[in-house]
C-alpha cells in the first residue's frame, strides 16, 4: 500500500534516509552495502497494537552481501543495535511518527519463518506429550510472534516467564 504523503515528498524523504543510512553503514566499514527504503501505510488492525497512533511504516533494507552476517550478529543482536541507532537518528529528524524496521540481507523474514516453525513444533510436542514446552530466551518481538502464531489454537496456551534477558515463552497444552 502506498503512503498518503505526496509522492514527491515520499521520494525525497526516501532518498535522504537512504543516503544517511548508507553513510552510517559505510562509516562502519560496509562500503558496498546497498540501502533501499520503502514507506507503506499501516492498517488499522496493525496500528491498534502499537502504543502510539502510527500511520506509516518505514522499512529499511540493507543488502551487505556475505559480510552482512557481521551486521546481523548472533541471533540478530547487532541488527537490533543497528536498528536502535537508526531509529534514534531518524526520529529526531522526522516530524511524522513512523514505525521503523531495519533489515539486513532479509534476516527478519527468515527469522520469522524460523519462529513460526518453532511455535508449531512446540505446540505439536506439547499436545503429543501433555507437558509444557519451554522455548529458548527471546526478545519481546520474537515472543510476540510466538504468542500471536499460537493464539488461535484452542488446545494450546502460551505465557512468557522469567526476567529479561532470559525471558522465555512456555507453550502448554489445554485439556478440554
Domain of 30: which CATH number?
3.30.300.20
Confidence tier at 3 by pLDDT (50, 70, 90): very low
Q: DSSP letter at 42?
A: P
- Output the nine-digit C-alpha cell for 116: 513460526
Are both 90 and 122 inside the same structural domain? Answer: no
The range of the structural domain enclosing residue 16 comes to 7-105
Q: How far apart are CA 136 and CA 161, in angstroms?
A: 11
Confidence at residue 49, expressed as pLDDT on a 0 to 100 scale:
54
- Output the nine-digit C-alpha cell for 10: 515520499
pLDDT higher than 70, residue 172? yes
First to last CA, the chain: 42
Confidence at residue 52, expressed as pLDDT on a 0 to 100 scale:
52
Whether 50 maps to a domain, the answer reads yes
Confidence at residue 176, expressed as pLDDT on a 0 to 100 scale:
57
Peptide bond into 165 cis (omega under 30): yes
Model pTM? 0.74
Q: What is the mean pLDDT of residues 46-64?
A: 71
Confidence tier at 64 by pLDDT (50, 70, 90): very high
Q: What order of strands is seen across the sheet that includes strand 34-41?
A: 34-41, 56-63, 98-104
Confidence tier at 53 by pLDDT (50, 70, 90): low
- Output the nine-digit C-alpha cell for 176: 478440554
Please provide the DSSP assignment of 95-155 as one string.
SS-EEEEEEETTHHHHHHHHHHHHHHHHHHHHHHH-S-EEPPP--HHHHHHHHHHHTT-TT
Are both 91 and 116 inside the same structural domain? Answer: no
Q: What is the mean pLDDT of residues 136-145?
A: 92
Confidence tier at 15 by pLDDT (50, 70, 90): confident
Q: Which residues pair with 24 in a beta bridge?
A: none
Whether 38 maps to a domain, the answer reads yes
Confidence at residue 5, expressed as pLDDT on a 0 to 100 scale:
46
Confidence at residue 153, expressed as pLDDT on a 0 to 100 scale:
94
CATH number at residue 133: 3.30.1370.50
3-state secondary structure of 35: strand
Q: How far apart are CA 55 and CA 94, in angstroms?
A: 13
Are both 95 and 128 inside the same structural domain? Answer: no
Q: How far apart are CA 120 and CA 79, in angstroms?
A: 25
3-state secondary structure of 38: strand
pLDDT tens digits, 112-140: 999 999 999 999 999 999 999 999 999 89
Amino acid at each position: 500500500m502506498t503512503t498518503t504523503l505526496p509522492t514527491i515528498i515520499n521520494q525525497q524523504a526516501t532518498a535522504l534516509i537512504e543516503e544517511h543510512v548508507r553513510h552510517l553503514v559505510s562509516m562502519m566499514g560496509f562500503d558496498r552495502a546497498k540501502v533501499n527504503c520503502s514507506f507503506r501505510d499501516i492498517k488499522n488492525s496493525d496500528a491498534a497494537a502499537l502504543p502510539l497512533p502510527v500511520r506509516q511504516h518505514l522499512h529499511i533494507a540493507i543488502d551487505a552481501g556475505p559480510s552482512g552476517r557481521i551486521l546481523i550478529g548472533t541471533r540478530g543482536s547487532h541488527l537490533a543495535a543497528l536498528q536502535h541507532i537508526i531509529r534514534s537518528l531518524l526520529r529526531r529528524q522526522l516530524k511524522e511518527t513512523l514505525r521503523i524496521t531495519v533489515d539486513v540481507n532479509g534476516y527478519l523474514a527468515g527469522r520469522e519463518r524460523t519462529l513460526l516453525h518453532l511455535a508449531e513444533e512446540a505446540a505439536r510436542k506439547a499436545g503429543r506429550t501433555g507437558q509444557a514446552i519451554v522455548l529458548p530466551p527471546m526478545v519481546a518481538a520474537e515472543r510476540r510472534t510466538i504468542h500471536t502464531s499460537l493464539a488461535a489454537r484452542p488446545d494450546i496456551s502460551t505465557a512468557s516467564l522469567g526476567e529479561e534477558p532470559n525471558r522465555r515463552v512456555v507453550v502448554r497444552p489445554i485439556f478440554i
